[in-house]
Amino acid sequence: MTDVIWLRPERAATGRPAAHDRAEITAAAISVADRGGLDAVSMRSIAVELGTGAASLYRYVSSRDDLLDLMIDATAAECRLEPPTGDPVADLVAVAEGLHEVMMRHPWLPELAVTRPALGPGGIAVLDHVLAVLADHPGDATAKLEVFALLNALVATFARNELAAADQSRRAVAYLSHVAAGGERPRISALFDELSTADPDPRERRATALAALLSGLLG
């Protein structure tokens, strides 16, 4: 149980007076990951971000895994949680959209949300909100926890796909634009013109899909 970082003291009881706290270290780790991805996150890179020595960080966190758990949970605290309206599907879709915004701000997060979910103070706030949304639902505690877990997994899947598609789309559009500009394939030129002026609404499509999935899940 003591392996859970939130059940440990904020810092080691011995050593020099605290120069930083967990929140500062977590914020630094998130900044490093936002710029360089998860591979850039290490005790050394976080120490450089904070202007301190890597060894000093071990007074606050015992491993890189601790850092990852803190980062995941800190981003959960960024999620907007609006008061429940009494419509559980709409309210859960709103939670999903809030989580999606957070994941798109931190492109490294969807992968972690699927492969190593962490539940600290930030995640507990989101879970508590989901339980409030489902307060009148007849499902038992296990079913409500499953809704919470699946909601996170669904949002992470949408975000991962959208982030990957954005990168692939940029490459495809670059070549499509080149072909369209050549004028030798008028149908391609017309297609590109139509795509360029289209106004797709991925949020609406995502919300519709989530509502359908959640409606089926809640019965």
Which residues have CB under 8 Å from 177's CB, separation 6+? 192
Give the mean pLDDT of 144-150. 93
User: Please, how many CA atoms are within 13 Å of residue 144, restricted to the half-sphere of its CB?
Assistant: 17
Give the pLDDT confidence score for residue 150 in this predicted structure: 92
AA identity, residue 153: A
User: Dihedral of CA 174/178/184/190: which sign?
Assistant: positive
Give the pLDDT confidence score for residue 18 in this predicted structure: 55
What are 87-115's pLDDT values in tens digits? 999 999 999 999 999 999 999 999 999 99
Q: Which two tokens mark 6?
A: 């939130």
DSSP sequence for 124-183: HHHHHHHHHHTTT----HHHHHHHHHHHHHHHHHHHHHHHHHHHHHHHHHHHHHHHHHH-
List, in sequence order, the alpha helices (H) in the chain: 22-36, 43-50, 54-57, 64-76, 88-105, 109-115, 121-133, 141-182, 186-197, 202-218
Higher pLDDT, 38 or 205: 38
Give the pLDDT confidence score for residue 181 in this predicted structure: 86
pTM of the predicted protein model: 0.81
Give the mean pLDDT of 148-165. 90
Give the pLDDT confidence score for residue 1 in this predicted structure: 43
Q: Which two tokens mark 69?
A: 């758990």
State in Å, rounded, how far the first CA of the chain is from the last one: 36
Give the pLDDT confidence score for residue 76 in this predicted structure: 96
Give the mean pLDDT of 38-48. 95
Q: Which of 26, 56, 218 is nearest to 135 (CA)?
A: 218
What are 180-193's pLDDT values in tens digits? 888 888 898 888 77
